[in-house]
A and B are shown apart, each in its own frame.
Chain A
Amino acid sequence: MAPHDLRRPFKRPAISDQQKRRDLSLLRQAQSRRDAQHQARCLASTVLSFPTQNSEPVPEPQAVEEIELVPEPEPIYEESEPEQQAIDIDVRQASKLRGAEARRWFAKQLMLPEWMIDLPDRLDQDWYIFARPAGKRCFVVSSNGVTVSRLRNGSLLHRFPSALPNGAKTKDISRSAQSYCILDCIFHELDQTYYVIDMVCWAGISFYECTAEFRFFWLNNKLVETRACEAPSVFHKFRFSLVPVYNCDKEGFHIAYTGAVPYEKDGLLFYNKHAHYQTGNTPLALVWKDENCSKYVIDTDSKGHVPHQQQVVLELQDDGKLTASDDPPVVFGCLNGDFIQKTGLHSGYLLRFTVNEGGLRFVDGKLEKADLQYLGKANRARAFADSFSKIMFQYMARYSPLTVEHLLASISSSNEQENGTRDLEMSG
């Protein structure tokens, strides 16, 4: 048992450079593994079909050249491309798209509410309600240190720095390159604010497959954390704001319908709590308006006048049928072959009609006959025909609108129903 060595390091750094090299390698590897995992997690079921073209990218057109009907700018960009090749692309890749490709991709990504033409069951149980801000519906995408907003037709609205994750080039290096956000917003001109009505991706994580309940919960928590709701500053050009969302019970309806909001209201939006974010038209999100909560109940023409008779845009099919934009298509009428030939129309054309005195006739809730008069081709920038629900809502608004009383009745009656049949809640 010899004495023990008690020498301590003397005039030497405590760590060798070789160990430092090892440690830094391990650090890099751990970081890379984290990034790889993060990336794998973010590629969650967001793969969407995307048509690409082989030709040169088309130069950016002027944003919203002509808005035909004021309140809801319809998609105006759609050209039939030769040799379209469908490839799969996920949101992360899409956020890197530029120019025409980006426009085309984003034009298809918004969830479009149907117009409310009848009352869904369990409105007070399964639905949220909120007052829609008047303004331009758009996607806001933050990635790689810049934030871009794109209108429904895919065209660029703003390009700006924001406090959203990875939305500005700041020295915050904690965000990885995969971190990006996509928000469903309405840009409200008056106070230059983006009102966020839904969240599609946050910090690289996709929310497509999540229920509205979950998306709204997340949105409420996350948006405030980023300080994006604070006043504009150098690295944050526009303020973002949440829209107050309520359960669609009596009280919620009342606040949404009559309550004061910092923005101009344009109708009410209803979102089914259990619905995922579904691109295109969906009956699980609904829009409803009356004169009290919107300036734009009945469509106006491009000069802002309400036409004497309702106008609709329908798509001409191979067999001469005229359909709305729904899938499966709803037929409103038929053009005969002679007329088509004489006017030089082709299938796929979008045509404008007025609804004459004969109106729309229904049997057992199904459209049987529509008295239509041909006006001419629709604005070539239009992308889609009107949807069935839109035509119906506009029609009803002129003759027998779905009123606020109907809505309230539905809410309170289902309330009573519920009270009668409610099961005892288990508390374990």
Chain B
Amino acid sequence: MEVTQVLLNAQAVDGTVRKHAEETLKQFQEQNLAGFLLSLSGELASDEKPVDSRRLAGLILKNALDAKEQHRKFELVQRWLSLDVALKTQIKTCLLQTLSSPVPDARSTASQVVAKVAGIELPQKQWPELIGSLLSNIHQAPVHVKQATLETLGYLCEEVSPDVIDQDQVNKILTAVVQGMNASEGNNDVRLAATRALYNALGFAQANFTNDMERDYIMRVVCEATLSPELKIRQAAFECLVSISSTYYEKLAPYIQDIFNITAKAVKEDEEPVALQAVEFWSSICDEEIDILEEYGGEFTADSDVPCFYFIKQALPALVPMLLETLLKQEEDQDQDEGAWNLAMAGGTCLGLVARTVGDEIVPLVMPFIEENITKPDWRQREAATYAFGSILEGPSPDKLIPTVNVALNFMLTALTNDPNSHVKDTTAWTLGRIFEFLHGSTVETPIITQGNCQQIITILLQSMKDTPNVAEKACGALYFLAQGYEDVGISSPLTPYFQEIVQSLLTVTHREDAGESRLRTAAYETVNEVVRCSTDETSPMVLQLVPVIMMELHQTLEAQKLSSDEREKQNELQGLLCGCLQVIIQKLGASESTKYVFMQYADQIMSLFLRVFACRSATVHEEAMLAIGALAYAAGSDFAKYMPEFYKYLEMGLQNFEEYQVCAVTVGVVGDICRALDDKVLPYCDGIMTQLLKDLSSNQLHRSVKPPIFSCFGDVSLAIGENFEKYLMYAMPMLQSAAELSAHTSGADDEMIEYTNLLRNGILEAYSGIFQGFKNSPKTQLLIPYAPHILQFLDSIYMEKDMDDVVMKTAIGVLGDLADTLGSNASGLIQQSLSSKDFLNECLSSDDHLIKESAEWAKLAISRAISV
């Protein structure tokens, strides 16, 4: 088959030709995969072929080896591994040969495909000669081959995890890469490829960074590369520095002074892409130090992994002026541009991080800049001063900030009304929001919002909601935090007199013609939500009045017909906002008996609206309506049963939604709500629900984060239907058991994996708890006895593993109690033999955590009863 023409046709402008070619390629692949891959690799390798067909050949090859979706990726890997070895050798030879091609596009494509093959084969200990053969020709090779080889090494390091490659080969790779970066390398393409390769290879250099000489060498080469005349090399070199700042923070002390000088020069003089990376270096250092200081609370003991070197604190006197300077480099319309990212934005963001890192110390360094610029005629100066002020509001203590804020508040309110520049008003409204977010609330001793200024503040914010969309959106945000500050105000809220006016103004905003810009409509509804959440009983009649209003809005979205796809998307978004708002209202009114009672008169109508929203089918709306239904079920209790016949199919649909796992997760949560609301009335739906949950668990398409809540949900079902859970035991128990075995040990896992494992354990344990409790006092308790040894073993082994978090500890010790409580004397021997009933129980009994202690006391009680009978 002549593949060249087909590949060219597949890129044709003519749709029919293109479609036909794609169809041909597809058939070829399906009928003869080996031949297909081989001819593609031949096409890519052949310098006689046109570059366009070669590039596409490489791209198709790459896509035959990797995919975004985990399950698809897994299939492709298995498919490649099962191919004939001789065939694969032929393909790989073609790929390596292409790296020497004079055509840059062919080389570049080949280097990516090589990395994909390496990503599959190296972990299997296949293709051991690859790295050796790549490195063998690097010194004598022509420049273009050298460049392609370094690029390949870079991609390879991105694909493969460090533990797959032995240290000897790592050393060789790093040597080649760092030599390629060296100033003595005359060719810029080689040097750029090497610098970009180092960025990916840094994760492999753990051992080399502990060796002073090697580390010094790498750092020197990287720093020199930041001074290259070539912009792309400078930018790539700074990217390396940013990556080093987080990966090797604890090794930076000897270099930090030099790096400061380099970054300061870049921020001042270099072009924006480079300057942005230089600022990012300091933001990244802030991230590290904030993490360290948060984790250890500033006290360093021998067991803290990484000490804080206080680089930011030391650099402060020079760093702050450097960042303040950047604030004056705003772009004219950055507030209207969603994707904007410029030096002023990066500098202000970094300043905010610095404030969080050092706290009070930043205030005297920034105040003079603010005072000098805030009244200047040039809008840039006023905006920069305001932005600086807003940036440092998180971090320093309220004591340090409040005197200034009290003075500034009036100024800000005036600026928000009167400043002629929209950019200044935007930043001013944002700064007010920050003031309310960090300095207003029950934890702050001297309130900045008082009886004297409350009305003025609200009036001005409501006025600003009529301003341009970006300013109005910030004003909504400020109001959001103002309401949040009164979250636990008690019986009477200072916002009560303004509740009606605030909600009315926000609803008016949602109807603005331009509410679709700058996220304005979303911000307005979110603020309504927060105002409702933080309202008190005083205003519950008004919250109640809001129900029919929002219902009417939702009703109207359902009336629109024959929508374009663009309009449909907008409709879905609006429905999501309205369902979200109803969810908040339901949760609020459902929390107290008296308001719940009055609210329930709307339940039928609301439910029918939700069902109609479901009928529109869209992921986000689906999710929001589902969340709202969970709240409704919680409020309605057993009355919810009447909606089940109609609602059930959507519940099932939600549980089947593998692709949008958030929807699936939310639905699983709602199943729990329904189980608790309906109790044994949920029984008729349990066959369907359990089938779906079991399917979800067996699916490798479903995002793993949904699996722990599914296990918990088993417990909810069992608790609701009691011994009727019997028929599901034979399916659920083996699944729980194998998941328990998998999650018992975490040895060698990283933090993220341990965190997930603990979530999984908690889900499994909640399932066991629910099942035991469900069977309590039932004649069928006997059915659970065979599972007891394994469950006790599971408890023992996670105790031995010593890596469970507090939540798991609490649930685990509770399971011990439930087991003893339900099985009683049937299990007393087993319980007494288990480690959990002794060491683990004692550890929990002496825990400082109230919930763990409570569960442990329950367990102790249940065990003593089981044993004493």
Q: Which residues of chain A have a CB within 8 Å of any CB of chain B?
A: 1, 3-4, 6-8, 10-11, 13, 17-18, 21-22, 24-26, 28-29, 32-33, 36-37, 40-41, 43-45, 47, 174, 203, 205, 207, 209-211, 214, 218, 274, 276
B669 touching A37, Cβ below 8 Å: no
Q: Give the Cβ gap from B107 to chain A, nearest Cβ, in Å.
A: 14
B627: contacting residue among A4, A21, A47, A276, CB under 8 A: A21
By beta carbon, the residue of chain B nearest A10 is B345
Residue B526 is within 8 A (CB to CB) of chain A in the complex: yes
State which of B32-40, B440-448, B494-502, B861-869 sits at the interface with chain A: B861-869
Q: List 13 A-B contacts (CB under 8 A).
A: A1-B155, A10-B345, A17-B529, A25-B587, A28-B587, A28-B631, A33-B716, A40-B719, A44-B776, A44-B821, A45-B865, A210-B865, A210-B868
Are A25 and B864 CB-contacts (below 8 A) given A6-B242, A11-B430, A36-B676? no
Q: Residues 461-496 of chain B: 1 if any A CB is under 8 Å from the residue's CB, otherwise 0?
A: 000000000000010010010000000000000000
Whether B821 and A3, one on each chain, are in contact in the complex, defined by CB atoms closer than 8 angstroms, is no
Task: Please tell me if B196 contacts chain A, counting CB pairs below 8 Å.
Answer: yes
Contacts of A276 in B (CB 8 A): 868
A sample of 8 more A-B contacts (CB under 8 A), given A41-B817, A44-B865, A218-B861, is A3-B236, A3-B239, A13-B437, A33-B715, A37-B719, A47-B777, A214-B861, A274-B868
- What string of 1s and 0s marks CB contacts (under 8 Å) between B695-730 and chain A? 000000000000000001001100100000000000
CB pair A29–B669 under 8 Å, yes or no, is yes
Given A28-B587, A32-B673, A214-B861, A3:B235 Cβ within 8 A: yes
In angstroms, how far is the closest chain B Cβ from the Cβ of A92? 15
When the two chains form their complex, are residues B634 and A210 in contact, meaning their CB atoms are under 8 A apart?
no
Which chain A residue has the least Cβ–Cβ distance from B274?
A3
Query: Do the beta carbons of A1 and B154 come within 8 Å of each other?
Result: yes
Contact indicator B151/A37 (Cβ below 8 Å): no
B530 within 8 A of A: yes
Choose from A7, A32, A40, A174 the contact partner of B773 (Cβ within 8 Å).
A40
Residue A209 contacts which of B158, B634, B669, B865 (CB distance < 8 angstroms)?
B865
B850 to chain A: which residues have CB within 8 Å? 174
Proximity string of chain B (827-869) to chain A, C-beta cutoff 8 Å, 1 when within and 0 when not: 0000000000000000000000010001001100110110011
B526–A29 CB distance below 8 A: no
Partner of B529, one of A8, A21, A41, A44: A21
B58 at the interface (CB under 8 A from A): no
| Inter-chain contact A207/B861, CB cutoff 8 Å | yes
B225 within 8 A of A: no
CB contact under 8 A between A26 and B669, given known A21-B627, A32-B634, A33-B712: yes
B530 to A17, Cβ gap below 8 A? yes
Of all A-B residue pairs in the complex, the 9 with the closest CB atoms, nearest first, are: A17-B526, A40-B773, A1-B196, A7-B341, A209-B865, A6-B280, A11-B430, A8-B349, A29-B669
> B618-638: contact bitstring with A at CB < 8 Å (1 yes, 0 no)?
000000100100110010000
Contact between chains at B474 and A11 (CB < 8 Å): yes
Contacts of A274 in B (CB 8 A): 868
A296 to B200, CA, bound (A): 91
Question: Which of chain A's residues have a CB closer than 8 A to the CB of B676?
Answer: 32-33, 36
Report the nearest A residue to B335, measured CB to CB.
A11
Write the nearest CB–CB distance from B614 to chain A, whole angstroms.
Answer: 18
Complex interface bits, B149-190 against A, C-beta within 8 A gives 1, otherwise 0: 001001100100000000000000000000000000000000
Query: Does chain A have a CB within 8 A of B199?
Result: yes
Write the nearest CB–CB distance from B211 to chain A, whole angstroms.
26
Q: In the complex, are the beta carbons of A18 and B624 less than 8 A apart?
A: yes
Among B79-107, those with CB < 8 Å from A are: none
The residues of B that contact A32 with a CB separation of less than 8 Å are 634, 672-673, 676
A45/B773 in contact, CB under 8 A: no
A28: chain B residues within 8 A (beta carbon): 587, 631, 634
Contacts of A37 in B (CB 8 A): 719, 769-770, 773, 814
A22 contact set on B, CB distance < 8 A: 627, 662, 666
Instruction: Assess whether B630 is in contact with A25, with CB atoms less than 8 Å apart.
Output: yes
CB of B43 within 8 A of chain A? no
* Docked CA distance A44–B580 (Å): 39
Would you call B53 an interface residue if the criterion is a C-beta within 8 Å of the partner chain's C-beta atoms?
no
B236 and A29 contact, CB distance less than 8 A: no
How far, in whole Å, are A421 and B676 apart by their CA atoms in the complex? 57
Give complex CA distance A11, B437 in Å. Answer: 13
CB pair A21–B865 under 8 Å, yes or no, is: no
- Residues of chain A with a CB closer than 8 A to B662's CB: 22
- Which residue from chain A places its CB closest to the CB of B434 in the assembled complex? A11
- Which residues in chain B, 191-225, are within 8 Å of chain A measured between CB atoms? 196-197, 199-200
A13/B236 in contact, CB under 8 A: no
Chain B residues in 8 Å Cβ range of A13 = 437, 477, 480
Closest CB of chain B to A20's CB: distance in Å? Answer: 8
Residues of B within 8 A of A8 (CB): 283, 346, 349
Of A11, A26, A41, which one neighbours B818 at CB under 8 angstroms? A41
How near does chain A come to B742, taking the closest CB pair, in angstroms?
23
What chain A residues lie within 8 Å of B480 (beta carbons)? 13
| Residue contact B672 to A41, C-beta cutoff 8 Å | no
Contacts known (A3-B239, A8-B283, A33-B672); A214 close to B716, Cβ less than 8 A = no
Chain A residues, CB < 8 A from B196:
1
- Nearest Cβ on chain A to B852's Cβ, whole angstroms: 13
Closest-CB distance, A89 to chain B (whole angstroms): 15
A17 to B850, CA, bound (A): 30
Interchain CB contact under 8 A, B345 and A41: no
Report A-chain residues with C-beta under 8 Å of the C-beta of B669.
25-26, 29
User: Nearest chain-B residue to A16 (Cβ)?
Assistant: B526
B858 pairs with A214, CB closer than 8 A: no
Contacts of B861 in A (CB 8 A): 205, 207, 210, 214, 218
B776 contacts which chain A residues (CB < 8 A)? Answer: 40, 43-44
Complex CA distance for A11 and B393, rounded to whole angstroms: 13
Find out whether the CB atom of A25 lies under 8 angstroms from the CB atom of B766.
Answer: no
Within 8 Å of chain A (Cβ to Cβ): is B758? no
Q: Which residues of A contact B199 (CB under 8 A)?
A: 1
The residue that B666 contacts in the complex, of A25, A210, A211, with Cβ under 8 A, is A25
Closest partner residue, chain A, to B154 (CB atom)? A1
**Residues 121-165 of chain B, each 1 if its beta carbon lies under 8 Å from chain A, else 0:** 000000000000000000000000000000100110010000000
**Interface: B357 (CB within 8 A):** no
Q: What B residues does A7 contact at CB under 8 A?
A: 341
Residue among B235, B630, B858 facing the most chain A CB atoms (10 A cut-off): B858
- Report the separation of the CA atoms of residues A36 and B717 in the bound assembly, to the nearest whole angstrom: 12
Residues in chain B near residue A205, CB distance under 8 A: 857-858, 861
Q: How far is the CB of A179 from chain B (nearest CB, A)?
A: 10
B864: which of A1, A10, A24, A211 is its contact (CB, 8 Å)? A211
Contact residue among A10, A18, A21, A29 (Cβ-Cβ distance under 8 Å from B672): A29
- For A4, the chain B residues whose CB sits under 8 A away are 239
Within 8 A of A (CB), among B524-582: 525-526, 529-530, 576, 580
CB < 8 Å neighbour of A21 from B155, B239, B584, B858:
B584
Q: Does B9 contact A (CB under 8 A)?
A: no
Measured between beta carbons, the chain A residues less than 8 angstroms from B869 are 209
Smallest Cβ distance from A344 to chain B, in angstroms?
48
Cα A203 to Cα B857 in complex, Å, equals 11
Q: Which residue of A lies closest to B277 (CB)?
A: A6
Q: Which residues of A contact B437 (CB under 8 A)?
A: 13
Residues in A neighbouring B235, C-beta threshold 8 A:
3
Chain A, Cβ-Cβ closest to B716: A33
Q: Name the residue of chain A whose CB is nearest to the CB of B387.
A: A11
Q: How near does chain B come to A407, taking the closest CB pair, in angstroms?
A: 27
A57 to B766, CA, bound (A): 42
Q: Does B273 sit within 8 A of A, measured CB to CB?
A: yes
Contacts of A3 in B (CB 8 A): 235-236, 239, 273, 277
Query: Which residues of the partner chain B approach A203 to less than 8 Å between Cβ atoms?
Result: 854
Pick the most buried of B345, B480, B673, B865: most chain A CB atoms within 10 A of its CB: B865
Q: Which of B346, B587, B777, B868 contacts A45 (CB 8 A)?
A: B777
Across the interface, name the chain A residue whose C-beta is closest to B287.
A8
Give chain B residues whose Cβ lies under 8 Å from the Cβ of A33.
Answer: 672, 676, 712, 715-716, 766
